[in-house]
């Protein structure tokens, strides 16, 4: 058998290429236009096998190797859109934290792909970044009306609604849609949302799925124990994210809410909550270390941080961690 005849037999039709690559035939045409598939020359195409175009098996295999299984991955831009942050901010977080995001083919484009493992790390970093940029309480507390995000109120006819934010408007989602808080002059809060300020700079972060049946019970426990002075909340499409200051609180008179907070440990990200002898302990696994550097060392650190596109604190943290890890080897 001639080599040409053998090649014709081994060639793949348009439909077979699409099935092999798990794409639509319209996508195969785009691959052809980009020169990613090698077509077998057929001088008399209409008299060829079934009159169809054929492509070399090797070129299809080569393209398969270039393509990435994206069934459980998401492109960097799509992930940024999902998290409602700019791709630039996401790339900065990735660079500052030395996260290696591999490139792969997402359709026809080569792009950065976020795996489930990397996604878990980025979810935590984005949550921390969101809270780090809370310069005021205005994102979760409205001082004009003295109301907090998700705080429950009793309105007319005994109905209970929770405070929501839509754009710059604060109010409730009722049966008729979103209604401004001012429309309910007689609304009464179910509890006070203010507590004494705790002097701490460390926080325990948590992320509660919105479909968690006890989600609002956790919110109520947080406000009752910590108040808006020591707790912050952020709403996303799928989660109630928040953080509470690390501290020890006497909760003898509010045992019910304190015990409810123990269940929150299922959703904490960097710490835990303990209840010992009527004292609620909020323990953060992160520890803050103050380092004083001389001017010469600080200049070196600053220059190195700029070269590596990191903040000085992030670079200092990495240097210390690398040093301690090396000492353990």
203-214 pLDDT tens trace: 899 999 999 999
Give the contacts of 310 (CB within 8 A, at least 6 positions apart): 95, 96, 318
Mean pLDDT value across the chain: 85
Written as six digits, the tokens of 289 are 């270390």
The CATH fold assigned to 3-66 is Multidrug-efflux Transporter Regulator; Chain: A; Domain 2 (1.10.1660)
Q: Which of 99-113, 135-149, 166-180 has the lowest mean pLDDT?
A: 99-113
Q: Say what the pLDDT of residue 136 is.
A: 63
At residue 68 the predicted structure's pLDDT band, cuts being 50, 70 and 90, is low
Statement: 74-132 belongs to CATH 1.10.3470: no
Q: Which of 12-16, 51-55, 144-148, 254-258 has the lowest mean pLDDT?
A: 51-55
Q: In the chain, what percentage of residues exceed pLDDT 90?
A: 36
Q: Which H helix or E strand runs over 166?
A: strand 160-166
Q: Say what the pLDDT of residue 47 is.
A: 47
Give yes or no for a contact between 89 and 126, defined as CB atoms under 8 angstroms apart.
Answer: no
Place of tokens 């109905």: 159
Q: Say what the pLDDT of residue 18 is.
A: 87
Q: pLDDT by residue (tens digit) across 249-296? A: 999 899 999 999 999 999 998 899 999 999 999 999 887 777 888 999
């Amino acid at each position: 058998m001639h080599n040409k005849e053998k090649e014709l037999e081994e060639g793949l039709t348009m439909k077979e290429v699409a099935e092999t690559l798990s794409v639509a035939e319209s996508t195969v045409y785009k691959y052809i236009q980009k020169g990613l598939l090698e077509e077998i020359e057929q001088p008399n195409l209409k008299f060829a096998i079934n009159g169809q175009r054929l492509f070399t098996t090797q070129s299809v295999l080569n393209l398969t190797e270039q393509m990435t299984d994206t069934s459980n991955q998401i492109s960097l831009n799509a992930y940024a859109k999902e998290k409602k942050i700019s791709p630039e901010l996401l790339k900065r977080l990735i660079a500052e934290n030395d996260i290696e995001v591999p490139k792969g083919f997402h359709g026809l484009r080569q792009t950065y792909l976020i795996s489930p493992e990397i996604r878990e790390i980025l979810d935590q970093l984005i949550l921390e970044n969101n809270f780090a940029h809370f310069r005021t309480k205005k994102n979760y507390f409205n001082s004009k009306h003295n109301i907090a995000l998700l705080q429950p109120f009793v309105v007319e006819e005994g109905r209970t609604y929770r405070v929501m934010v839509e754009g710059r408007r604060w109010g409730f989602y009722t049966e008729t849609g979103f209604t401004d808080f001012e429309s309910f002059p007689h609304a009464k809060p179910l509890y006070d949302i203010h507590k004494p300020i705790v002097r701490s700079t460390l926080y325990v972060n948590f992320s509660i799925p919105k479909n968690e049946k006890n989600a609002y019970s956790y919110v109520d426990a947080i406000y009752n124990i910590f108040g808006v002075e020591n707790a912050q909340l952020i709403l996303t499409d799928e989660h109630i994210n928040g953080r509470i200051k690390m501290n020890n609180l006497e909760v003898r008179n509010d045992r019910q809410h304190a015990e409810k907070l123990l269940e929150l440990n299922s959703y904490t990200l960097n710490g835990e909550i303990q209840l010992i002898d009527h004292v609620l302990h909020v323990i953060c696994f992160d520890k803050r270390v103050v380092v004083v550097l001389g001017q010469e060392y600080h200049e070196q650190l600053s220059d190195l941080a700029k070269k590596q596109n990191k903040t000085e604190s992030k670079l200092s943290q990495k240097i210390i961690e690398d040093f301690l890890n090396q000492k353990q080897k």
